[in-house]
Amino acid sequence: MKALAKTGPVEGLELIDAPIPTPGPEDVLIRVKRTAVCGTDIHIWNWDEWSQKNVPTPMITGHEFSGEIVAVGAEVDRPLKIGARVSAEGHVIDLNSEAARAGHFHLDPHTRGIGVNRQGAFAEFVVAPAFNVIELPDDVPYEIGAILDPFGNAVHTAQQFDLLGEDVLVTGAGPIGVMAAAVARHAGARTVVLTDINDYRLELAQKVAPGVRTVNTTREDLRDVMKELGLKVGFDVALEMSGSPIAFRQCVDTLIMGGGLALLGIPSKPTETDWGAIILKALTIKGVYGREMFTTWRKMLGLLNAGLDLQPLITHRLAYDQFQTGFEAMKSGRSGKVVLNWDKAA
């Protein structure tokens, strides 16, 4: 089969021929139809410090995908059939861990990632535990199935606080931040403000999340925008999606007393924090990792069924052998989601 792999400790990925993986007794084999490029894949492409510590080579990368089941392990007890259209949770857990036995699957400390530290989905076939497989409704196309993983990040972050009727700040207009803003609007937030310094992605957000007030903070003062919107005190909830220390301070500064702050964005290095400001404002801060298995998946499929449209977020649809073009688009900051088609080459 064709696959994209990190074959050694160097920048980039290589298109290789690899053997079709063999599923174990509790696994399924999936013929990959679509994959999407994630920020994690960019880290692996760049072979940065995080990748060097966490990604063994050779490694077939990629974890955002959809496809069709072509084989089911002998001990699989779920009613999964050959030909089923599926996506999958990319975090593979130890079902015997204390967290898993308590039902907190997403908090398992022994989690391994498809395409990170086990062979991934940038390939014509991928193996996944049957436990992780999510069947796709008929009205969810493969390309949307391939971006459910990051959509789940957005939904999980938005789930941390009640957004109904609230004023919400979202910092960071990457694809997940844009999806979080759309979720907040769909969840009934009174006001949603999305900040970034990238005009391309702020303009894209208007297509995915109509009604969101976008702010390029290099040209507009957030305080002025708050006055424009009638926010006399501050935001009730902030969703920090960028990992920027500046954006984190912006959230703390503009939240109301007793406000809630959910953190998904990961800073590139340790940063100083004014804990006094956080304490004196009695803020509640929640770190967010991955998706809640499998409540988040149920909710995101429900949001799609209720009319939340993610199609405008997909800005690049490419054949798998055009992967370099896709990665360049992602690295330039002038893209939404990049989706690779594994049905055929260019």
Amino acid identity, residue 158?
Answer: A
What are the CA-CA distances from residue 52 to residues 10, 12, 45, 295 (Å)?
10, 13, 11, 32
Closest by Cα among 134, 118, 138, 117 to 126? 118
Which string of DSSP letters, residue by residue, matches 216-251?
A: ETTTS-HHHHHHHTT-SS-EEEEEE-S--HHHHHHH
Q: Which residues contact 269 (CB under 8 A, 6 or more apart)?
A: none
- From the list 43, 57, 104, 186, the catalytic residue is 43
Amino acid identity, residue 110?
Answer: H
Name the token pair of 47: 């072979």
Q: Could you confirm whether 43 is annotated as catalytic?
A: yes
User: What's the confidence (pLDDT) of residue 43?
Assistant: 95
Exposure on the CB side of residue 257, measured as CA atoms within 13 A: 1
Please, what is the end-to-end C-alpha distance for the chain in angstroms? Answer: 16
Please state whether beta strands 314-319 and 2-6 pair in parallel, antiparallel, or not at all (unpaired).
unpaired
User: What's the confidence (pLDDT) of residue 35?
Assistant: 98
Closest by Cα among 25, 153, 142, 45 to 89? 153
| Residue 38 CB-density burial (10 A; 0-12 exposed, 13-18 middle, 19+ buried) | buried
Query: Would you call 217 helix, strand, or coil by DSSP?
Result: coil
The span from the CA of 190 to the CA of 195, in Å, is 17
Contacts of 43-48 with C-beta under 8 Å, sequence gap 24+, read: 44/6, 44/13, 44/116, 45/11, 45/12, 45/13, 45/327, 45/331, 46/11, 47/6, 47/9, 47/10, 47/11
User: What's the confidence (pLDDT) of residue 346?
Assistant: 87
The span from the CA of 284 to the CA of 278, in Å, is 8
The span from the CA of 251 to the CA of 335, in Å, is 25
Instruction: Tell me whether the omega of the peptide bond preceding residue 150 falls within 30 degrees of 0, making it cis.
Output: no
Using the structure block, give the residue that is written with the tokens 């089923």.
84
The span from the CA of 304 to the CA of 299, in Å, is 9
The span from the CA of 142 to the CA of 265, in Å, is 27
Residue 59 has φ and ψ, to the nearest 5°, of -145, 125
- pLDDT tens string for the chain (346 positions)? 999 999 999 999 999 999 999 999 999 999 999 999 999 999 999 999 999 999 999 999 999 999 999 999 999 999 999 999 999 999 999 999 999 999 999 999 999 999 999 999 999 999 999 999 999 999 999 999 999 999 999 999 999 999 999 999 999 999 999 999 999 999 999 999 999 999 999 999 999 999 999 999 999 999 999 999 999 999 999 999 999 999 999 999 999 999 999 999 999 888 899 999 999 999 999 999 999 999 999 999 999 999 999 999 999 999 999 999 999 999 999 999 999 999 989 8
Q: Which domains does the chain have, with CATH numbers?
A: 2-147+310-341 (3.90.180.10), 154-287 (3.40.50.720)
Name the token pair of 93: 């857990």
Using the structure block, give the residue that is written with the tokens 């957005």.
154
- From the list 7, 22, 40, 271, the catalytic residue is 40
- pTM, two decimal places: 0.96
The span from the CA of 18 to the CA of 32, in Å, is 14
